[in-house]
Amino acid sequence: MPTLDFKQITDKLNAEFASDTRKIVFWYDDNEGFVNEIDSLEIVGAKLHKLTPTNQFYTKHLIERQDKESSYLLYAPFPKPDGSEYALEDVLLYSRRFYADKPSILMSDLRIDENLKPIMQKYIGFFDAKDRAQRFYGYRIENYTKEIIETALMSALCKTENVSFNDVLRVVLIKGDLEDNCFLKDFEKYDLITVFWQMCNDTFGYAESTPSLLRLAATLLVTYTLRQFQGKKPDAWECFISSKPGNVVAFLDVIMNHNEYRSFYDELAKHLETVLNIRQLYESTDIAKILACDAFQVFDEIIIKWIIERLHEEDTGAMSAGKNITSICEFRKTLHYGQHLKSSYDMLSSAYEIISKVNYTCPVIFKDIVNQYIESDYRIDSHYRHFYTAYDELVDIEGMEELSERVESVYTNKYLGRLLPAFSDALDVKVSMNNNKSQLQFFDENIKHEKNKTAVIISDALRYDVGRELFEKLNDDENCDPSISYMYGAIPAYTQLGLAAMLPHKLLEIKIDGKVILDGRQIDTTDKKDAVLKLAIPDSRCVSYRDMPKKSSKRERDELREIFTGMDTVYIYHNRIDNKGENTEEEVLAACSKAIDEIFDLVLYLNGNGNIYNFIITADHGFLYKREKFNESEKISLVGMKDIYPNRRFVIANKPLEADGVATARLADVINGEDERFISWPIGASVFKTSGGLNYVHGGASPQEMILPLIKVKTEKRRVDTEFAEIALVNTIRKVTNLIIHLDFIQKEPISDTVKAAEYKISFISEDGEKISNEHTIKADKDDAEPSNRISRLKFDFMNKEYDRNKQYFLTVIDAKTRVEKFRHPVTMDIAFANGIGFGF
C-alpha cells in the first residue's frame, strides 16, 4: 500500500500544528510502520506522547487536567481500540486523526467515512495523477457513498462539470468512438468498467452479458423512438427495449435539445439509422404512427416525402393524426430536426397554401377585387415569395423540382391568370387616380395637414404583401402602434413616377425618355426632391437611407439629430428590393425579408435616437415576379411602334397599342395632366419584347404592382398596452403516481392586437434543479376565440428512479425567449414501483 515518506509526514504534521490553537492529534500506526522513526520526529508546536495499551487513563489525565495548554501528537503503534472499551474515545470526538497511508489521508482530507476505506483502497491508483485528484477534489462532495465515489471517479475521467452518471454517459457517447472508446479504456484501467456497465443497467435498464456502446446507444434510441411511435414495435427491436424508458427519454431529451450536444447527437443518430435499418422498417408506415418520432432524421424525410406526394396529387385535404399539411409542418419544426429542416417545412407549407388555391375565383367588380386582395389574396403572393425563399435555401433540391413546377403552374395559371385580367378589365384609371386613395393624392391626404414631426419612409418596390408582413412585425413590438391601409400606385408603376407622385405638385409630366418633370422641375436626385418638398414644407428634408447613420454612438446620434432637428417632415428613400430586382433578380425575394428587417430597425432606431414618434411607410410601386421565365408566347411584340418609351410592362406612345391582351388609357387620365399620349400595358402576366428583367417586372396595372401598403406607426409615450399570451394548467395535479402522465394546458387568451404570441418550455424538475422528465416546447399563438381550441395535451415521461416522497418536485414553465421562469407548480412524486418491474411498452 502506498505510504508517505518520513519527511512528508513531518511536514504534514508541522502544518497541522502551525496555528496558535491547541490541537490534539491521534496517530494510530496499525502496522507499527514508523515505531523505529517516531523518536526522531522533529515536530514543532506540539509535544509527542506515546500511547500504550495501558496508559489510556494517564493520557486522559495528562491532556485534560495536568497540561491543558499544550498541543499533543498522540502516537499509538497499534490499531485504534474498540470505542466501547476505549477510555480516550471521548477525546477523539474533539480531536483529529492523522493517517500515514494515502487512502486514509485522502479520506481525511475529503471527510469520507472510515467504512468506505476499501473503496478508496480499490481506486487509489486513480489519485496518482495530480490533475485527476484535483478534479475529484473540485467536486466538493458533501455526503459520500460507494456509488457517489465511483460516479465521481468516472466524472473526473470524463471531465464533466458535475458528479452525474448521466453526464458521464453523455460524454462517453458523444465525445468518444463507439468501437474504440478512450473513456472506456480509462474505466478499464482504473477498474471502473464493471461499475460503468452496472450503472447503465441501474439507470437506463441496459444489461447484456457482453455489453457494447453500440448496442447501448441502440437501446437508448430505440426505446426513445418506441415511446413516440403509435404502432406495433418491430420484432427485431425487442432486444433493444429498455426497462426504464422514462430515464431514457429524459436523458436523450437533454442531449437532443442542447445547443452544445445536438450536432454530436445527430452524428450518433445518423450512424444508428443505418445500423437499425430505420428507413426500411418505417418508409411504408402510416405517417400518423411516426408523426411524433424525432430520434432519427429519416422520420422527417419520410414525412416530407409523404407531403410532397400529397401536393403532387393536389390532395390539399390530406390529414394525419388530425393535422393538415400546414399543421404537420409547423409541428415538425418544433421537434429535434425542425431547425435543420426549417426551410424544407416552410417551403412545403407555402406550397400547400398555393396549391390549395387551384380553384381560385376572382370577383369582377373592381372594388370587390381590391377588397379581396387586401383581405386574403395578398397572402398567395406572400406564400409564393416564401416558397421560393425557402426553396433557394435548400442545399439539395433533388425531388423538389417537380413540386416547384406545380407551384409555378397554380400561381401563374390559376391565380395570376384569373386575377390580372379581371383586375385590368375592371380598372377605371380615371377614377382610381382621382380619389383620396390615389398615390397622386398622397401628400395632400397624409402629409400636408400633419401636425406631428413625421418620418416618411418610401421603400422602392415594397409590395403590399411585403408591407403586411412589416406591419405584423411592427404590431408585435410593444413600442409600436401601427395601422395599415392601401393606396393605388400611379400608372405606369415605375420608380420615377411613383416617387414624384408622393411629392407636393400640381402637374406631372413624363418625357419621351421616361424622366418625370414635376411642376417644371426635374427630380432625378435626392437633392432635387428635397428642393421640391421644401417649397411646400420649408422645415423638411429628403435623405437617402444609405446615407443615414445606423448606429447609436454619440457621433452618429449627433449626425442623426442634425438631419431631424427643426424638421417637420423628412422623406427617407429606401431601396433594397428594387435594387436587387433590377440587378440580381434571383435575390429579390430574399431582399424582401431584408427590407422588412431594415425598415423595422430604422423605425426603432429613429424612435430611440432621433425622438421621432410618427412614421408613414409606403412604396413607389410594387412588382410582379415569376420564377419561370417569360416564354415567347408571353412576350408582346412592339414591331412597327414609333416614338415610344418602352418597358417590359408598359409602353407610352402617341397612339394606342392595338394588340390582343393589351389594355390602353390616355396618359392625361392617368397622371391628371394634358398629355395626349397613351399608355398601354399587358392585361395578364405578359411582358413586351424589350430589354429588362425576365422574372422581376413592374410598371403595369396589376394588384401586385398598383396596390401599395400605407402603414402609419405611432411610437409616442402613449402606448397600447400589450402582453404576451400565457398558458395555464387545466388539470389539477398534486401527486405524480406513474412514470407517464398526460397534462392539458390552455392558452388563456387568443392572440389579438394586445395579446402577442409567446413560446414556452415545460418540464418537471427536482428541488435541486435536476430535470426529471422530458421537455416540451409549446407555442401560445392561437387566435381562436373558442377556449377548447386553445388546449394542448402533452405527454411527460419521468426518469425511472427512486423519488423522495418527503421532498417537493416542480412542474416548471419557462419563457423560451427570455429564459425567465413564468411559474412552477409543486407536486409530490409517489411512484410505488420506480426502479422496479412492470414498466414496459
Last residue of a domain, one of 426, 453, 477: 426
Helix (H, G, I), strand (E, B) or coil at 776: strand
Neighbours of 442 (CB within 10 A): 26
Residues 598 and 711 in one domain: yes
Answer yes or no: is 170 within a domain.
Answer: no
pLDDT at residue 47 above 90? yes
Judgement on whether residues 296 and 445 belong to the same structural domain of the protein: no
Query: 603 and 568: one domain?
Result: yes
The three-class DSSP label of residue 342 is: helix
pLDDT, residue 691, reads: 72
791: in domain: yes
The 10s digit of each residue's pLDDT in 535-555 is 999 999 999 999 998 877 778
Give me the pLDDT at residue 644, please. Answer: 87
Tell me what pLDDT residue 599 has.
97
Mean pLDDT of 83-90: 84
pLDDT digits (tens, 9 = 90+) for 732-782: 788 888 888 889 999 999 988 778 899 999 999 998 888 999 999 999 999
Rounded Cα gap, residues 411 and 659, in angstroms? 25
Would you place residue 4 in the very low, low, confident or very high pLDDT band (cuts 50, 70, 90)?
Answer: low
Res 271: pLDDT: 94
The beta strands (E) that lie in 382-462 are given as: 454-459
Report pLDDT for 633.
73
What is the band of 836 on the pLDDT scale with cuts at 50, 70, 90? very low
Q: Is residue 248 part of a domain?
A: no
| Residue of 78 and 640 predicted with greater confidence | 78
The CA distance from 124 to 186, in Å, is: 14
Do 559 and 688 belong together in one domain?
yes
* Average pLDDT of the segment spanning 32-50: 90
Give exposure, 681-694, as e/b (b: 16+ Cβ within 10 Å): bbbbbbbbeeeebe
pLDDT score, position 832: 63
Q: What is the pLDDT of residues 448-488, one digit of tens each?
A: 999 999 999 999 999 999 999 999 999 998 889 999 999 99
Tens-place pLDDT, residues 557-584: 888 888 999 999 999 999 999 999 888 8
Helical (H) or strand (E) element with 136: helix 130-138
Q: What is the Cα–Cα distance from 372 to 480, expressed in whole angstroms? A: 27
Within a domain: 265? no
Helix, coil or strand: residue 652: strand
Classify residue 58 as exposed, middle or buried by CB count within 10 Å of its CB (0-12, 13-18, 19+): middle
Last residue of a domain, one of 60, 75, 100: 100
Provide the sign of the torsion angle of the four alpha carbons 143, 147, 150, 154, taken in this order: negative
Single residue among 84, 100, 116 that ends a domain in this structure:
100
Same domain, 714 and 727: no
143 found inside a domain: no
- Indicate whether 86 belongs to any domain: yes
Residue 592 lies in a domain: yes
Q: Is the pLDDT of residue 616 over 80?
A: yes
* Per-residue pLDDT, 720: 46
Same domain (yes/no): 704, 744: no
- From the list 413, 302, 397, 433, the residue with the least C-alpha distance to 357 is 413
> What's the order of all strands across the beta sheet hosting 454-459?
481-488, 707-714, 614-618, 454-459, 569-574, 540-544
User: Do 501 and 411 share a structural domain?
Assistant: no
464/552 same-domain check:
yes
- Do 642 and 765 share a domain, yes or no? no
Give yes or no for residue 631 having a pLDDT over 80: no
Tell me what the mean pLDDT of segment 349-376 comes to: 96
Residue 484 lies in a domain: yes
Phi/psi-derived region of residue 145, left when phi > 0, alpha when psi is between -120 and 50, beta in every other case: beta
Confidence grade of residue 2 (pLDDT, cut at 50, 70, 90) = very low
What is each CA distance from 226 to 235, 332, 481, in whole angstroms?
12, 17, 48
Show the cell assigned to 672.
391628371
Segment 117-123 shows an average pLDDT of: 92
Average pLDDT over the chain reads 91
Residues 611 and 668 in one domain: yes
Q: Which domain holds residue 806?
A: 723-829
Residue 547's pLDDT is what? 92
Residue pointed to by grid coordinates 436523458: 251
Instruction: Select the more confidently predicted residue: 819 or 330.
Output: 330
Question: Within 10 A of 822 (CB to CB), how many other CB atoms are there?
Answer: 16
CA 588 to chain centre: 25
Dist. CA 561–CA 547, nearest whole Å: 14
> Residue 474: what pLDDT?
95
CATH code: domain of residue 732: 2.60.40.2030
Task: Report the SS3 class of residue 492.
Answer: coil
User: Are 775 and 703 found together in one domain?
Assistant: no
**What is the average per-residue pLDDT within 148-176?**
95
Residues 572 and 470 in one domain: yes
Question: pLDDT band for position 199 (50/70/90)?
Answer: very high
Q: How many domains does the chain have?
A: 4
- Give the model's pLDDT for residue 275: 93
What's the mean pLDDT in 300-322?
A: 95
What percent of the chain stands above pLDDT 90?
A: 67
Mean pLDDT of all residues in 269-297: 94
Output the DSSP codes for 578-623. HHHHHH-GGGHHHHHHHHHHHHHHHHHHHHHHS---EEEEE-S---
